[in-house]
Amino acid sequence: MAYDRGYDLVEVSPDAAPPVCKIMSYSKFKYEQHKKEQKENKQHHQAKIKELRLRPITEEHDIQVRLKKAKEFLGKGNKVIFSLFFKGRENTHRDIGFRLMERIKKELMEYSKIEKPISPEGPRLTLVLGPK
């Protein structure tokens, strides 16, 4: 019957007594299964964490470049970690770092939400932002 109709005879359950078979186009079935798997995999976007490093002495243009990159990362659905490192005597002027991080937070508020506020971790400050 399958040959007359131009389909394949597919054994569904070989262990059953008697074995169960189905008349269908096997190549079409495999194609649809493959497309279904592709669609399921496409829907899963894993948020990656991108880190942008700064120093308290970072120049204005470099800060603007980092902000632009952060907007790009957030637009793609990734999280962004800003790390501000202090070296040597810079540790005595941590207020400069806090002001810089507050500025970054304000400039990116419309693109992101705060996942972890500004926090000191040893010789650095971190700020974690997630996409809105």
User: What are 96-114's pLDDT values in tens digits?
Assistant: 999 999 999 999 999 999 9
Domain 2-43 class in CATH: alpha beta
**Omega before 120 within 30 of 0, i.e. cis:** no
Whether residue 45 is predicted with pLDDT greater than 80 in this model: the reply is: no
The per-residue pLDDT for range 77-96, each reduced to its tens digit, is: 899 999 999 999 998 989 99
Residue 27: how many other CB atoms lie within 10 Å:
9
Residue 79 CB neighbour total at 10 angstroms? 18
The pLDDT assigned to 113 comes to 94
DSSP H or E segment with residue 36: helix 26-43
pLDDT at 40 over 90: no
Q: In whole angstroms, what is the distance from residue 70 CA to residue 83 CA? A: 12
The residue type at 26: Y
Domain spans of the chain, in order of start: 2-43, 49-131
Would you tell me which CATH number, out of the four given (3.40.50.2000, 3.30.110.10, 3.90.1580.10, 3.90.226.10), belongs to the domain 49-131?
A: 3.30.110.10
pTM over 0.75: no
- Is it the case that residue 130 has pLDDT exceeding 90? yes
Residue 127 is predicted with a pLDDT of 95
At 64 the pLDDT is: 96
